[in-house]
Structure 1
Amino acid sequence: MSLTNASPADAAAAAKSASHVLATLSADARNEALTAIHAGLAAARDDILAANARDLESAKKAAADGKLSQSLVSRLDLGRKGKWEDMLQGILDVRDLDDPVGKVTLRTRLDDGLDLERVTCPIGVLLIIFEARPEVIANIAALAIKSGNAAILKGGKESTESFVAIARVISAALDRTRVPNDAIQLVTTRDVIPQLLALDNQIDLVIPRGSNDLVRYIKNNTRIPVLGHADGLCAIYLEPSADPAMAAEVIVDSKTNYPAACNALETLLVHEAALATHLPTVAAALAAKGVDLRCDAPSKAALAGVPDLTIADATEQDYSTEFLSLTLAVKTVPSLADAVAHINTHGSHHTDCILTSSAENAEQFMAAVDSSGVYWNASTRFADGTRYGFGTEVGISTNKIHSRGPVGLEGLMIYKYKIRGHGQVAASYGAGEGKKQFLHQRLPLE
C-alpha cells in the first residue's frame, strides 16, 4: 500500500497498471501478502491504537461542538468490543478462503475443437471512499488482494492518523511480497473526491462507506458504477404467534447490539393482535437497555401500564428515519401484507425480519420483501460479511445488479469468456448449404 499525494489521475493510472500485475499472480503469492499484512499489523498494534486514540479524542471534541455525529465517533473506535481482533482475524479468514480467481463456471463445446469457457476474473480498480471506520483499510486490502483487484482508498479527515498508521504498516508488508505496492493506495490529498469520481476510464467500481449524504453525493456525481447503500432502515415484523421471550431477545439484539450500525433495527412493526400479548414484554426489555420508543396511538395505548418507558408520539417521518441510536419507531399493522407494504415503501432494501411460528407466513414474508437480506426469527445484526463466512466485507449493497447484501470475494469478481479453437471462423456457421451447425454441448466444469 502506498501513501500517495499524487494527482488523482496519476494514482489511478498506477493502480490500473498494478491491477494488471495483480490479476496474474498465483493464489500463493496473494495469500503470502495477506500473511505479511496480518503479521505487520499485529506487531504494530500499540502504535496503531495510539494513533486511533488521538483521532478518537479529536472526534469526541468535534461531536461535543456539534461538528460530528455520535454514530461516526462510535464507528471510529478501533478498540471497541474486540474490533481490532476482528479486523486481524478477518485478514486470515479471507486468506484461507478458496481462491476466487480463474474459476470455470461454464464450459460449452461449440463444435469439435472449439470450446467455450466462462471464467471468473477481477473487476480491476476499486475506489473506496469512507468515513471513520479505520478497519476498512485492512478489510479492503485483504479482499482486494485476494480477489486480484487493485484498490484506491480515500478516508475522511476524522480518522487520518489511524489511516496513515495502518497504511504505513501495510505498505512495508507489501514491499516484502510479490504484490505491487501501488495495488493498494491510500490517497492523502485533500479535496480530491470529485476528481477521482471523474476517472471512469481508470476506475471500475466505487464503493462508498459512510453517511447517507456521502453515498448519495457519490451516486449523483460519477459515471462509474457504484456498489453500496445509502440507508440502513431495517424493520422487524412481530406476529402474535411468535414466542414472546424469543421475540424480545431478537428485537433487543437487533436494536442495541450496535445501534450505530447499518444493520441495526430502526422500525418495529407489530401485528395488532400482538399489542397486548407481546409488545409490553418487548418494550420492557428495550427500556432496560435504554431504548426510547416513538409509538403510534395503538402501540402507545398498549404500553400504558408498563413502567419506566420513555415514549414519544411517532411522526410519519420517524418511519423513514435511520436513527443510528437508541431510538426505535413502533407501528401497528393489521396484517402481514400491510407489514410487507410498509417495508417495501419506507425501508431501504437492507435487512428485514419476521418473528413468527408460522413457516408459511415466514416464507411469504421473505419472498415478498424486496431487501438484500430477509430473515425469519433471527437478529438483523447477522447482516455482516464476517458472520456470513465471507472473511470480511467491502460493504453492504442494496443494488439490483451484480452483488447484494454483504459483499465479499464473490462480489468483487466478474467473468470473461474464453474460446480455444483451431482456426475456425464464424462465417463457416449458420443456415444454408455448406454451413456448419453448432453443437452447443454442455461440458462438465472439471
Structure 2
Amino acid sequence: MSKFNAHDIAAAAKTAFQEAQTLPSTERIVALHEILKSLNASKTEILLANEEDMRAAEAEVKAGNMSETLLKRLDLNRGDKWDSMLQGILDVAALPDPTGNVSYASELDDELELFRVACPIGVLLVIFEARPEVVVNIASLAIKSGNAAILKGGKESNRTTSLLAKAISAGLSKTLIPELYIQAIQTRAEVSSLLQLDQFIDLVIPRGSNSLVKNIQNNTRIPVMGHADGLCSVFIDEQADVTKAVRVVLDSKTDYPAACNASETLILHESVVHTVWPAVAKALLEANVQLLCDPASLDALKKVTPKPTNLTKLVSPSEPSSYNTEHLDLILSVVVLPSIQSAIQFINSHSSHHTDAIVTESDIAASTFCRGVDSAGTFVNASTRFADGFRYGFGTEVGISNGRIHARGPVGLDGLVTYKYMMRSKAPSGHIVGEFGTGKKQYKHKPINVASVPFL
C-alpha cells in the first residue's frame, strides 16, 4: 500500500476517534453487542477462511518455513477458542467504564476546582503475530476504552483477520460509532508507512518477538508499549512442598507450552535436588517434556531408582543459551543454585521480566522472591499460566507488557487510558492567575471528595 493510502487510513482513524469522543459511553457497549451479533452471523465464513489459512500454514510447516507452535496459535477452531473469543467481548462489555474516573480532585480557590480524569489514549496501532482472535480481543478493549485502532496480524492469518475485521465494521455500522473506528491492514509495508505518521497515531503496541518489538522501537517516533518474549521460570525453594512443586511446575510447562506465560526454566535450590526434584522430573518426563539439565540436576536424575524409562530419550545436558531461550514447546531448561538470592539474580539476568513463580512454604522466602524478582508478575505456589488478562478479570487483554512505564503485566482497559486535567471556575467573573501571589490570594489546595467530574 502506498504511503498516501496509509496516510488516509491513519487520518480516518484519528477522525473517527475525535468524532466518537462526545458519544455517551453506553454507545460503546451497544457497539460490542452488535459486533458479537455480526461475528456470529459470519461464523461459517470466518472459520472456512481460517481453514484455508491453516492449510497454507501446514504447507509452510512441512517446508520448514514455519514452526508447529505458530501453526497452533493460528487455529481458530482449536478447542473452545471461538466461544472464548466471543465470551471475551461480553466480559469486556460488562466491565466498568475506564474513562471519566477521577484520580485527583482539588479546590484551588473558592469556586475553582481541578480534576484529573481518565480519558482514552487516542489511535492505537497494534501489531501481532498469528493468533487471529487477537483482532477481536483488541477491538473490544479499544472500543470499550474509547480508543480507535488500526490492527495488523501475521500474514499467515490474513484471510481470517480480514473477515473478522469486516464483521467488526459491519457491527459498528449499526451504531453511532464510525465504521473506521477499527481498521485492519495486511502488509509490513503498510506498517512501515504508518510508523511515520505520529501526527495521527498515538501509541504502537507490538505483540510478538523481541526482534519485532525492537525493530518497531527503532523505526518510529510514536511511543511504543512492547509485548515481547515470555521467558518465565519456576524456582523450587528449599522449603517447597513436593505436591505443590509437581503441580505448579507441570502446569506451568505443559498446560499450553506455546503461550508466552508458559515456564521455560526450572530453578532448583541445591537442597531439593535429591528430594523434590526426582518427583518433579518424573512427572515432567511422563508428560514427554524434554529436560535440558545442568550437571547437578543431570547427575541427580542418573541416580534415581528405578530409572525413568524415557530418561535417555528426553534428558540431555543444557547449554548456556538454554537459559536465554523461549522454547514454546515441551522443553524445559533446568539449573541448580545454592540460594534464593542466587535464584533471584539468575532470573533477573536471564528472564524477559514477564512472570516468575516460587514454590515454598516459607513466608519470608515468598516475600523475598516477590520483592526481589524484577518481573511484571511474581507468584507464590501458583502456575505462571495464571498471568493472563482474562484470568485476572480484565475480560481480555491487548497483551502482556514487560515494560515498567504506563502499563505492566496483562494490559486490559486500565492500560489503554491516560488522563487529562479539567478545571472549572464557578465564580461570577471566572478566575485569573493575576489574582494570586504575594500579598494576594493564596491557593487552598483542598481535597474534594467526588466520584466523578460534575461537568462531564
Give the TM-score normalised by structure 1: 0.97
Instruction: Look up the SS of the partner of 1:7 in the other structure.
Output: helix
1:286-313 CA-to-partner distances (Å, cap 9, x unmatched) read: 1111110000000001111241221111
User: What is the aligned-residue RMSD (CA, Å)?
Assistant: 1.5
Equivalence for 1:18: 16
Q: Distance in 2 between matches of 1:366 and 1:332?
A: 20
Amino acid at match of 1:358: S
Q: Are the counterparts in 2 of residues 4 and 187 from structure 1 also a CA contact under 8 Å?
A: no
Of 395, 398, 401, the match for 2:399:
395
Q: Are the counterparts in 1 of residues 126 and 205 from structure 2 also a CA contact under 8 Å?
A: yes
Amino acid at match of 1:267: T
Q: Distance in 2 between matches of 1:196 and 1:5?
A: 8
CA separation of 1:190 and 1:233: change in aligned 2, threshold 3 A: closer
Amino acid at match of 2:258: A
Of 33, 36, 53, the match for 2:34:
36
Amino acid at match of 2:299: A
Residue 5 of structure 1 and its aligned partner are, at CA, apart by 10
Q: Distance in 1 between matches of 2:359 and 2:180?
A: 48
Amino acid at match of 1:207: I
Equivalence for 1:139: 137
Query: Where do 1:122-201 residues align within 5 Å?
Result: 122-188=120-186, 191-201=189-199
Residue 140 of structure 1 and its aligned partner are, at CA, apart by 1.0
Equivalence for 1:341: 345
| Structure 1 gap segments, 5+ residues each | none
Amino acid at match of 2:177: V
Identity of aligned residues (%): 52
Residue 229 of structure 1 and its aligned partner are, at CA, apart by 2.8
CA separation of 1:4 and 1:192: change in aligned 2, threshold 3 A: closer
Of 201, 213, 235, the match for 1:203:
201
Of 95, 98, 116, the match for 2:96:
98
Of 407, 432, 453, the match for 1:425:
432
Equivalence for 1:367: 371
Q: Distance in 2 between matches of 1:107 and 1:16?
A: 30
Of 380, 384, 393, the match for 1:376:
380
Higher deviation after alignment, 406-415 or 419-428: 419-428
Q: Distance in 1 between matches of 2:188 and 2:326?
A: 29
Of 238, 245, 248, the match for 1:247:
245
Instruction: Look up the SS of the partner of 1:33 in the other structure.
Output: helix
Residue 240 of structure 1 and its aligned partner are, at CA, apart by 2.8
Amino acid at match of 1:54: E
Instruction: Look up the SS of the partner of 2:72 in the other structure.
Output: helix
1:318 aligns with 2:301: no
Residue 6 of structure 1 and its aligned partner are, at CA, apart by 7.0
Q: Distance in 2 between matches of 1:216 and 1:300?
A: 36
Higher deviation after alignment, 6-15 or 332-341: 6-15
Equivalence for 2:454: none
Equivalence for 2:360: 356
| Structure 2 gap segments, 5+ residues each | 452-456
The list of structure 1 runs, each at least 4 consecutive aligned residues, that deviate by more than 3 angstroms after superposition, is 3-6
Of 401, 406, 410, the match for 1:406:
410
1:243-271 CA-to-partner distances (Å, cap 9, x unmatched) read: 11221111111111111111010000000
Residue 101 of structure 1 and its aligned partner are, at CA, apart by 1.2
1:340-388 CA-to-partner distances (Å, cap 9, x unmatched) read: 0001111111000000001111011001110000000000001110000
